[in-house]
Structure 1
Amino acid sequence: MKKVGFTTTIPVEIIFAANLIPVDLNNIFITDNNPHTFIDFAEQEGLPRNTCNWIKGIYTSVMQNSVDKVISVTGGDCSNNHALTEIFRAEGIDVTTFNYPYENKSRYVSLKSEMSLLTAELGTDLDTVQKFQENLQGVRSKLKRLDELTVENKVSGFENHLWLVSSTDFNGDYLSFEDNLIAFLDEAQRREEIKNNLRIGFVGVPPIFTDLYEFLENKGVHIAFNEVQRQFSIISEKRDIVEKYLDYTYPYDISCRIEDINREIKKRKLDGIIHYVQSFCYRQLQDLIIKREIEVPVITIEGNEPGGVDARTKIRLESFIEMLEERKK
């Protein structure tokens, strides 16, 4: 079967219903044994150094023939995807666009139209997709249980991150993914509770740092909330496929995310929030609103390249942890 790559989370049910294999291009980049080679290749090809490294990783993933077709999300994600789409087309790559509607007015109609266009492009229809999405209800409910076990201190923040990020494409095979998840949940439920001093949440795009969770856990912190990763798993239990993706907060305005974050802070009894931002990303501007409207202390950290947490960021995080511990006393 042909592989269809995408630049950020899309209604993956459409790809499966069309008997194609979904591939999250971000995951190809970040899970590679040497993701820096993706960045180097993109820069040698001419992409500016001051471009987000996730974009460079996506570019290289496509140019090195990882997929047969690309779905570029040009509405509701990185604005650089517009130029990336043009580059792919200039290179003769089969690429189509998908847009999450920004405005609240007629959002259902707009999203349904986008989904219908994509289904037609991939050789299926929305009725078939609607029926197929029932096949993913089981695995999505198990992902929800995994997130609950994270709140219950049975699953670590990194494990939570890894499973939820992987659910964007289910590693190309949702049946095998579900079997592996069942085995993991069975083991996790029998664990002793994780002992920790603080409960902290991550908001913002998934961090590019490779050892951030390990660093924080060694400091007695339990990451009990991964905001965007949780949204990637499509937590809505609505049966209407369009409404399900309207409940997905990431591609819409920041107010949707703020409401979700504050609700989860209370539910998970979080002591603080780490807001991760990627270098050269427009979402850094949203930090102003997040710090103003989030109901617990927030620290903002910035990452650029894959690898370990730099010394300056470690010092800032240590100071933030000490402040939260004093505040908790």
Structure 2
Amino acid sequence: MKKIGLTTTVPLEVLLAAGYTPIDLNNIFVVSKDYGKYIEKAERDGFPKSMCAWIKGIYGACIENGIEEVLGVTEGDCSNTKTLLEIFKKNNIKIHSFGYPHSHSLDDIKNELDKLMKYMDVSYEEVEYQRNRLNLIREKAKHIDNLTLEGKATGFENHILQLCFSDFDGNVDRYSDFLDEKIEEINKRVTDKKELKLGYLGIPPMQGDLHDYVETLDGRFIYNEVQREFAFPRAMNSKNIYEQYYDYTYTYDIDFRLDDIKKQIKERQLDAVIHYTQAFCHRAVEDIILKQELNIPILTIEGDKSNALDARTKLRIEAFLDMLKDKKRSEKINE
């Protein structure tokens, strides 16, 4: 099967029906042991220091891994993607684009999906076949989410296993088998609940040690907002491909995202949330709205190029969680 690089989560069902193997360039970049080489490659080729590390990492991962074809999301994700696709084109990489309409209209998302299906020369029936196949596997992500709530799966497992649904780790059947093995392993564990139940908001972090560090402080992320959306937790409720991608919260306006965030905060009885922002990313401004709209303690942290937490951020997280534990213990005494 032909490989196609992705700049974010896209309708995989269309690509699979067209005979492609989707590869999320974000995942190649961030899980690499030598992830910095991708950023350096981009900066050597002229990308400015003051640009988001994710965009530079995606570029470097694509060029260094010989990806010859890319599908980029030009509406609903990173504002720099359109220019990135133009640069790929100048590097003789075949580019395709897809947009999540800002209107968040079912008719408009249907038009975008129909255009993509026509462009990829696949039928609605072929796409629906792939959708039903993938959604059976996506149900396993919900099982992992429940195991996190039970105190068996860690916050990092919740994060990384749902994150990989953006491309099914490059091989749908192999990832499905891996999930079966992982679920069996997690099920055998003794329950280990932490004192603080936390939510993670925002794009997946550059810092791979964030989730584990929080666990050393007796906290656990039992809700990873965007990662959970990558796994389409409500897919089985959708009648067709159009409804499924209409119901995907990440790429639409903040109010649509907030509805589900508020619901999850209440259902999971979270003690607080940590909002991750990426340096030089336009989404960082959403922090203002989150703090206005969410009636829960929020700590905002920022990442740039480093894939590990710095000492200052660790200290801020520790102080925030200590404050939450003191508050929680005080409330128990006064009950």
Using the size of structure 1 for normalisation, the TM-score is 0.97
Per the alignment, residue 20 of structure 1 pairs with: 20
Matched, 1:132 2:130: yes
Q: Does structure 1 conserve the Cα–Cα contact (< 8 Å) formed by 2:273 and 2:296?
A: yes
Per the alignment, residue 63 of structure 1 pairs with: 63
Aligned amino acid, residue 142 of structure 1 = K
Q: Provide the alpha-carbon RMSD of the alignment.
A: 1.1
CA drift at 1:121: 2.5
Per the alignment, residue 156 of structure 1 pairs with: 154
Q: Does structure 1 conserve the Cα–Cα contact (< 8 Å) formed by 2:162 and 2:231?
A: yes
**CA–CA distance in structure 2, aligned partners of residues 111 and 167 of structure 1:** 21
**CA–CA distance in structure 1, aligned partners of residues 311 and 252 of structure 2:** 34
Q: Does structure 2 conserve the Cα–Cα contact (< 8 Å) formed by 1:115 and 1:126?
A: no
**CA–CA distance in structure 2, aligned partners of residues 195 and 279 of structure 1:** 33
Aligned amino acid, residue 160 of structure 2 = L
**CA–CA distance in structure 1, aligned partners of residues 306 and 313 of structure 2:** 14
Structure 1 unaligned blocks of 5 or more: none
Deviations 1:152-176, CA, capped at 9 Å, x for gaps: 1111010011101111100121111
**CA–CA distance in structure 1, aligned partners of residues 93 and 51 of structure 2:** 21
Matched, 1:316 2:316: yes
**CA–CA distance in structure 1, aligned partners of residues 191 and 240 of structure 2:** 37
Deviations 1:173-215, CA, capped at 9 Å, x for gaps: 1111111111111121221112311111100000100211121
SS in 2 for 1:54: helix
Per the alignment, residue 332 of structure 2 pairs with: none
CA drift at 1:274: 0.1
Deviations 1:251-290, CA, capped at 9 Å, x for gaps: 0000111111111111111100000000000001100000
Identity %: 40
SS in 2 for 1:129: helix
**CA–CA distance in structure 2, aligned partners of residues 109 and 68 of structure 1:** 32
Aligned amino acid, residue 111 of structure 1 = I
**CA–CA distance in structure 1, aligned partners of residues 227 and 58 of structure 2:** 18
Q: Return the match for 2:192 from 191, 194, 208.
A: 194
Aligned amino acid, residue 125 of structure 1 = S
Per the alignment, residue 296 of structure 1 pairs with: 296
Per the alignment, residue 218 of structure 2 pairs with: 220
Alignment of 1:229-240 (within 5 A): 229-236=227-234, 237=236, 238-240=238-240
**Kindly tell me: are residues 233 and 66 of structure 1, through their superposed partners in 2, closer, same or farther at Cα, counting changes over 3 Å?**
farther
CA drift at 1:65: 4.2
Per the alignment, residue 114 of structure 2 pairs with: 116
CA drift at 1:68: 2.8
SS in 2 for 1:142: helix
SS in 2 for 1:167: helix
Per the alignment, residue 95 of structure 1 pairs with: 95
Q: How many residues align?
A: 327
Per the alignment, residue 176 of structure 1 pairs with: 174
SS in 2 for 1:47: coil
Q: Does structure 2 conserve the Cα–Cα contact (< 8 Å) formed by 1:23 and 1:67?
A: no
Give the stretch that moved more between structures: 151-160 or 66-75. Answer: 66-75
Q: Does structure 2 conserve the Cα–Cα contact (< 8 Å) formed by 1:71 and 1:97?
A: yes
**CA–CA distance in structure 1, aligned partners of residues 90 and 111 of structure 2:** 27
After TM superposition, where is structure 1 displaced by more than 6 Å over at least 4 residues in a row?
Answer: none
**CA–CA distance in structure 1, aligned partners of residues 87 and 178 of structure 2:** 37
**CA–CA distance in structure 1, aligned partners of residues 328 and 256 of structure 2:** 29
CA drift at 1:113: 1.5
Matched, 1:276 2:279: no
CA drift at 1:306: 3.3
Structure 2 unaligned blocks of 5 or more: 330-335
Q: Does structure 2 conserve the Cα–Cα contact (< 8 Å) formed by 1:30 and 1:306?
A: no
